[in-house]
Amino acid sequence: MSRLGWTLSAMVGIAALLAGTLYLSLISSLPVVDGNRPLAGLEQRVTVRRDALGVATITAKSRPDLSRAIGFVHAQERFFQMDLQRRVAAGELSALFGPAALKADQQHRLHGLRAVARRALEGLPKDHRQHLHAYAEGVNAGLAGLLTPSFEYLLVRQSPEPWLPEDSLLAIYAMWFTLTDAEAERDLTLTRIHATVPADWYAHFATTGTDADAALDHSSWPKLPLPGPQSLDLRNTAIASNTPLDPDTAPAFGSNAFAVSGFSATGGAILANDMHLTLSVPNIWYRVRMQSPGLDGSGVTLPGAPVLTAGSNGHIAWGFTNAYIDTSDRVLVEPIEGKPAYYRYNGAQRPFEVRTERIEVAGGEALELEVRQTVWGPVQAVDGQLHALRWAAHMPAFTNMKLMEFENARTVRQALELAADVGIPPQNLIVVDKDGNLAWTIIGAIAQRKPGVDYNKLLSGGDAPDETWAQLAKALRPRLVNPPSGLLWTANARTVGSPHIERLGDGGYRLGARAHTGR
Query: How crowded is the C-beta side of 488, counted as CA atoms within 13 Å?
Result: 31
pLDDT band at 353 (very low <50, low <70, confident <90, very high): very high
Torsion angle (degrees, nearest 10) of CA 453, 457, 462, 468: 90
Which residues are CB-contacts of 236 (< 8 A; sequence separation ≥ 6)? none
Strands 56-59 and 286-292: parallel
Query: What's the confidence (pLDDT) of residue 159?
Result: 92
Higher-scoring residue by pLDDT: 21, 234: 234
pLDDT band at 27 (very low <50, low <70, confident <90, very high): low
Query: What's the confidence (pLDDT) of residue 347?
Result: 84
User: Does residue 12 register a pLDDT over 80?
Assistant: no
- Domains belonging to the chain, first-starting first, are 46-179 (1.10.439.10), 185-328+395-504 (3.60.20.10)
Across the chain, what does the average pLDDT equal?
88
pLDDT band at 483 (very low <50, low <70, confident <90, very high): very high
Cβ(424)–Cβ(445) under 8 Å?
yes
Q: pLDDT for 368-396, tens place per residue?
A: 999 999 999 999 999 999 999 999 999 99
Q: pLDDT for 227-281, tens place per residue?
A: 877 777 766 655 544 444 444 444 556 789 999 998 888 889 999 999 988 777 7
Query: What's the confidence (pLDDT) of residue 252?
Result: 53
| C-alpha to C-alpha distance for 425 and 446, rounded to whole angstroms | 9
Q: pLDDT for 63-119, tens place per residue?
A: 999 999 999 999 999 999 999 999 999 999 999 999 999 999 999 999 999 999 999
User: Does residue 460 register a pLDDT over 80?
Assistant: yes
Burial 155-193 (b: 16+ CB within 10 A, else e): eeebebeebbbbbbbbbbbbbbbbbbbbbbebbbbbbbb
| Helices and strands in the chain: count of H runs, count of E runs | 12, 20
Q: pLDDT for 325-336, tens place per residue?
A: 999 999 999 999
Query: What's the confidence (pLDDT) of residue 31?
Result: 76
CB atoms within 10 A of CB 144: 10
pLDDT band at 318 (very low <50, low <70, confident <90, very high): very high
Listed residue (264, 318, 323) closest to 432, CA to CA: 318
Query: What's the confidence (pLDDT) of residue 44?
Result: 94
Which region among 125-139, 162-176, 458-472 has the lowest average model confidence (pLDDT)?
458-472
Q: pLDDT for 166-200, tens place per residue?
A: 999 999 999 999 999 999 999 999 999 998 888 88
Q: In this prediction, what percent of the chain has a pLDDT beyond 90?
A: 65
Mean pLDDT of the region 18-42: 68
Higher-scoring residue by pLDDT: 342, 149: 342
HEC letters along 89-149: HHCCCHHHHHHHHHHHHHHHHCCCHHHHHHHHHHCCCHHHHHHHHHHHHHHHHHHHCCCCC
